[in-house]
Structure 1
Amino acid sequence: MTDWSLPKPSNSINLVVLFILGTMLAGAAELPYGGWIQIPILSLIWWQISQQETASAKQQFLAGMSFGLGYFVLGLWWIYISLHDIGGMHPVVSCMAVFLLAAGMALFFSSACLPLYFTQRNRLTGLMLASSWVLIEYLRSVVLTGFPWMGFAESQFNGPFAPVAPFFGGLACTFLVVWVAWEFLQLKKNILLSGVCIISTIVLSQLAGLWTFIKPIGEPLSIRLIQGNFEQSLKFNPQAIEDQFSFYTVAIESEPADIIITPEIAYPWPQSNLPAGLIGSIQQFSNKTSSNILLGVIGESSGSSEVKYTNRALGLSPNLATYQYDKSHLVPFGEFIPPGFHWFVNAFHVPMSDFARGQLDQPPFSIVRTGKETINAAITICYEDVFGGELATRIHQSSKPVNLLINMTNLAWFGNSQAPAQQLRLSQLRSLETGLPALRATNTGITAALGPDGKILAELPQFTQGVLKTNIQPYSGTTPYVFWGNAPILSLSCLLLALGFIRQRRI
C-alpha cells in the first residue's frame, strides 16, 4: 500500500526554520503591540521544538540554540557598530564578536528548553518551561555581572502582561509570555481548558492595572534635558571636545529649571582636568537661579594609590555640597575587562575602558526647591537600566524616599540602530515596576520624559541637537515589586520545577 503521508522535515531544515522564527521574534519586539505579536511566534517555536517528542538531548539543545541564535543575532547586531565603526576593530573580528555573544546568549535559551526533553508532556509542561525560563533569565542577569538585554519582559510594555510588572516585575511578565505561548499550542488538544487559561490570564493581567500604589507629591518639576548629538568617533578630537564642552555649558546656563540634566559623560574628560572654572561657573549659575544640575563626567575614585576613573553623574544644587553618583553596574568588555580576558583585548587591540565601580548603596540625588518639598531621584547610568531587581533594591533600601528616576545615557556608540528603542523600553519597564516617572537624558536619543506608567510624555527627535523642556510630576509610594523584588516569582518557579520533576518520577 502506497504511503501518501508527507515526510517529516529533516533536522537541518527544522533548525533553519527555528533560526528564522528567532529573527521574527526579535523583529516583532520593535513593532507596535510587539508584546502581543511575540506570543503566537513563540508558540510556533514551541511547536517546532516539540514536534518530535523522541528527539535526543543533542537535537533539543540544537533546536534551542537555533532560535536563540537567530533572536540575538538580529537583536544585538548594533554591537558591530561600536566595535567596527567606532572602535576601529577589523570587520571579521567584529562580526565574530557579535556572533559569539549571540551564541553565548542562545546557550541560556537552549538551557531553558531542557524541560521539554527531560519530562513527559502533560499539563505541567508549560508551567515547568515557564519556570525554567525565569530561572535561566535570572542567571543571565548575574553570570559575568550579567547581560539580560533583549528579554521578553521589556517587549511586554507593548503587550498584555505589562500591568503585572508593578506586582512581580519583569520576570513575572516573562513567565506569563512563555506559559501562554505554550497554552496556545495546546488548544488543538483541549481547546476549552487551554482557552480558559489563556483568556483568564490575559483578563486578570489587564485588571491588575486598576490598582495603584503611588500618588503625586508636591508640585511638578520644571525640567531641561540636553541632547548634544555628538559623534562618538570624535571623542578624541581636541577641537570636537572643546565644542562639546562649550555646547553643554552654554545650554545649561541659557535658562534655569528645577532640574537640568546632561547625558552620560557629556564632559568626556577627567573631572580634575576639566577647564579651570568650568564647574565653578555652573555652580554659580545653580546658586543664582536655584537650578539643580546633573553633569555626566569622568570621575576619579579615591582611596587607592592607583588612580581609577569612574563613569560619574555630578550633581550641583543651590548652595549645597557637590553630589556624585558613580556607575556601579559596568558593561563587560565595554567599561571593564572581566578577569582572564585581558589577553583577548591585548591580542586584538580592542579599544576599551576599564572603569572602577561605584558602591551599590549610593544615596539618591536630592532636588532642592525653595519653599517646596525636596524631591529625591534615583540615578542610573545607561546600562544600569537593564537591571530592574537592582534598582528596586536600591529604592527599597534607600534612606530617603525616592520620587523620580533619572537615566543618563550615551548611545552614540551604536549609531542608527534599534538599540535606543530597546533601551527606551527597558526604561519604560523600570517605571512600571517602580511606579515612578523617569527622565532620560541622552546624547543622540531617545531623550524623553516618562510617566509613572512608562508612557512617553515628551521626547526629542533622535540625532538632533536640542533641549527638551517640559514638566514632570514626582510621585511617592512603593509598589509591591519594590518591596519584595524577584523573590516571589523565583520562589514560585523553583517550586513548580520541583513539583514537576517529582511528578515525572512517579509516572
Structure 2
Amino acid sequence: MVIPSVFSQQWLRTLLALLTGTCGTLAFSPYDFWPAAIISLVGLLMVITFHCSSREAAWLGFLWGFSLFGTGINWIYVSIVKFSDLPHLVNIGLIALLVTYLALYPMLFSTILVKLWPHSNLCRLVLGAPTVWLITDFLRGWVFTGFPWLEFGYSQIDGPLKGIAPIFGVQAITFVLVIVSGLTATAMIEQKWYLALSALALLLFPWPLSFLHWYQLQPERALNVALVQGNIPQLIKWQPRQLELILNIYLQRTLPTFGKAQIVIWPETAIPDDEISQNVFLTQFDKQLRAQHTRLISGIIDIRPTSHHYDAYNSILVLGEETPYFYPSKNRYQKYHLVPFGETIPLENLLRPLSSLFNLPMSSLSHGEYLQPQLQVAGMKLTAAVCYEIILGMQVRDNFHPNTDFLLTLSNDAWFGDSIGPWQHFQMARMRALELGRPLLRSTNNGITAVINANGIPQAQLPQFTRDVLIARVSPTKGITPYTRAGYWPLWIFGTLLGLTALVIDKRYLTSSTRSMYPNK
C-alpha cells in the first residue's frame, strides 16, 4: 500500500479533518453543492486510516464533526442572541457546547471503526463504515429526543442518488454515500483506481430511479390552495397589543382569496393567542368561511384546563368545514415532538431555572399523541407536522395513510433570521414529499412558503421576508412507495448483515496475515 507522506504528519491530518468537515456544510441548502458530501466523508475516512490509533481517530473524528456542525448549525446563535438576555460570551459558549455535543457522534463513529476493523482498509471503509455510520446517525436522532440535522442523505435531494429515497428512505441515501466515499478513499489510499470506477458506478447506478414515479396524479381532484406568508417579526409576535394588527394582516390577505382557493393556509401559531380566548373570532370567521365555501388551516395555541393546572398544545386548527366550528373540535393536530428549551424543558426540575434566561413565550407546551388522525379539509386528507417535526421521517411516515392526499407542514423560522437554517429546513421538508410520494403544502411565517410536488421539487414558492400570498393549483396523488410500506427495516437488516460480514472478513484477513508471517506455526 502506498501512503502519501503528507498524511504522516499529524498537523496535516488535523487540518484536513477541519477543512473537509467544513466542506460538508456546502452540500446542504442554500449552497446545494451535493458532491461536497462525498468530499467531506472521504476526508474523514482518509484521516482516520493513515497510521491512526483509536485515540487519534477519536480526536480527528471530533475535529471533523466540530467543524461540520460549527459551520452548519451556527444559525441557532441568531435565536439565542435575539431572544435571550444572556451575555455575549455565554451565548457563544452555549453554541460551542451544542456543537461539541454533536461532534461526539463522528468521534464515536471513528473510534468504533478503527477498533472493530484494525486491519483491512476495504472492510473498514467500504463494509464497516456505512453500518457504523447508520448506528451513530440513529443515536444522534434519538438521544435526548434527538437532533437529526445535517444528515448527508438530505443533501442529495437534487443529486443522482435521489431515486433511492422513495424505496428505502433518506437514511439509505446516506448509507450509499458512505460506501461511495469508502471506495473513493480506499482507491486513493491504495491507488487501486478500479475502486474509484466502482465508486462512480455506484453513484450513478441509482440515477435512473429518479425518473421512476411511485405515485399517480389525480388531476380530476385538483384544487386551488392559498398559503399566506404574514412575515410577522418575531420580536412583536407575542405582544398582546399587536394581536389585532397581526389578525388584520392575515385577514386582509385572506379575504381576496375567497372564490379563488378552496383551502387557505396560515403558518404555525399565526394566531398568537390561545384558542379559547379567540373563540368568538374563530366562530365568526368559521361562519364567513363556510358561506364562501372556503376552508382555513391555521396554527394556534390550544390551552386546556386540567385537574393539575393546564395543558398547552402547539396546534393546527381547521375552520370552514360543513360542520360549524366548536371548541374543542376534533379536526385538529397537536404537535408531538417539541423543541427542547424552545417548547419544552428536558429534565424540567433540574433545568427549569435555565429557561428563565430565555425570552421564549411558549416553553412549557404539552406533547400531543404520537399517532393522530389525518386532517379532513375540503374533501382531502392531510398528514400534518408542525415545524421541526417535518425532519422526523419515521414520525411522518407512521402518521401517513394510504389514502393521504397531501402532506402539510406549518412553520415559523423567523427565530433564525437571515441565516442558512430555514433553507436546510426547507430541504428536509422536500425529502418527506419524495419519500412518501405526496405533494407537500408548506406555510411559514417569513419563508420559505412553498408547494412541493410528490417528486420533491418545488412547484411554486414565495421569496423570504415578504408579506404575500402563494396561490397554486395542486393535484393530489395516490399510490404507495416501497419506503412507505417497509420503512427503514430493509436498510437495517442489510446494514447489520454487511457489518457482520465485514467483521468476519477482517478476522480472516488477520488470520491469513499471521500464518504468512509465521508459516511453521
Pair in the same fold by TM > 0.5: yes
Residues 1:235 and 2:263 are matched in the alignment: no
Aligned to 2:55: 58
Would you say 1:338 and 2:346 are equivalent positions?
yes
Aligned to 1:362, which of 355, 364, 372? 372
Do the aligned partners of 2:153 and 2:173 also contact (CA within 8 Å) in 1? yes
**Cα offset for 1:505?**
3.2
Deviations 1:307-334 (A, max 9, x none): 0211100111322254210000111221
Partner of 2:183: 183
Checking the alignment, whether the CA contact within 8 Å between 1:227 and 1:263 is kept in structure 2 is yes
Q: Secondary structure at the match of 1:124?
A: helix
Q: How far is the alpha carbon of 1:480 from its aligned partner?
A: 0.7
The 1:345/1:485 distance shift into structure 2, 3 A limit, reads farther
Indicate conservation of the 8 Å contact 2:134/2:171, yes or no.
yes
List gaps (5 residues or longer) in structure 1.
369-373
Deviates more, 1:448-457 or 1:25-34: 25-34
Aligned residues of 1:135 and 1:493 also touching (Cα < 8 A): no
| Partners of 1:10 and 1:357 in 2: CA distance | 51
Q: How far 1:394 sits from its partner (Å)?
A: 1.3
Q: Name the CA distance, whole Å, in 2 between partners of 1:25 and 1:111.
A: 18
Letter in 1 for 2:166: P
Match of 1:132 in 2: 132
**Distance in 1 between residues matched to 2:235 and 2:339, nearest whole Å:** 19
How far apart are 1:168 and its partner, in Å? 0.3
- Aligned-partner Cα distance in 1 for 2:63–2:237: 38
Q: Over aligned residue pairs, what C-alpha RMSD do you find?
A: 2.1
1:54-73 CA deviation, whole Å, 9 max, x = no partner?
x2222110110001000001
Deviation at 1:10, TM superposition (A): 4.4
The one of 345, 361, 377 aligned to 2:382: 377
Extract unaligned runs of 5+ from structure 2.
Answer: 511-521
2:23–2:36 Cα contact (<8 Å) kept: no
SS in 2 for 1:123: helix
Letter in 2 for 1:465: R
Correspondences of 1:453-492 after superposition (within 5 Å)? 453-492=455-494
Choose the corresponding residue for 2:301, options 270, 295, 298.
Answer: 298
Name the counterpart of 2:310.
307
- Size of the aligned set, in residue pairs, is 492
**C-alpha distance in structure 1 between counterparts of 2:108 and 2:128, whole Å:** 13
CA distance in 1, matches of 2:475, 2:281: 31
Q: Counterpart of 2:248?
A: 246
Contact 1:57–1:117 (CA under 8 A) maintained in structure 2: yes
Alignment of 1:94-493 (within 5 A): 94-113=91-110, 114-119=112-117, 120-125=119-124, 126-188=126-188, 189=190, 191=192, 193-217=194-218, 218-256=220-258, 257-274=261-278, 277-301=280-304, 304-320=307-323, 322=329, 323-339=331-347, 342-343=350-351, 345-346=353-354, 349-352=357-360, 353-368=363-378, 374-395=379-400, 398=401, 401-493=403-495
Deviation at 1:75, TM superposition (A): 0.8
Partner of 1:501, secondary structure, is helix
1:290/1:378 CA distance change after superposition, 3 Å? same
The 8 Å contact of residues 235 and 268 in structure 1, kept in 2 or not, is answered as: yes
- Work out the CA distance in 2 between the residues paired with 1:302 and 1:472: 39
Change (3 A) 1:158 1:211: closer
Specify the code of the residue in structure 2 equivalent to 1:131.
T
For the structure 1 residues 202 and 63, does the alpha-carbon distance in structure 2 shift closer, same or farther, using more than 3 Å as the test?
same
Tell me by how many angstroms 1:415 deviates: 0.4
SS of 2:376's partner is strand
Distance of 2:209 and 2:398 partners within structure 1: 23
Relative distance call for 1:8 and 1:223 in structure 2 (3 A) is: closer
* Separation in 1, partners of 2:204, 2:11: 40
Q: Which residue of 1 aligns with 2:40?
A: 41
Identity level (%): 26
Return the TM-score normalized by structure 1: 0.92
Distance 1:16 1:438 in 2: 41
**For 2:308 and 2:93, how far apart are their aligned partners in 1?**
38
Shift, 1:88, TM fit: 3.2
Aligned mates of 2:240, 2:184 — CA distance in 1? 58
Alignment CA distance shift 1:28-1:325 (3 Å): same
Structure 1 position 367, deviation (Å): 2.1
The one-character-per-residue Cα deviations of 1:192-215 (angstroms, maximum 9, x if unpaired) are 541442233223211222332211
Q: Specify the code of the residue in structure 1 equivalent to 2:477.
A: Y
State the secondary structure of the residue aligned to 1:109: helix
Which shows bigger deviation, 11-20 or 34-43? Answer: 11-20
* Deviation digits for residues 57-101 of structure 1 (CA, Å, limit 9, x no counterpart): 221101100010000011111111111112333222221111111
Alignment correspondent of 1:27: 26
C-alpha distance in 2 between matches for 1:8 and 1:491: 36
Deviates more, 1:162-171 or 1:107-116: 107-116
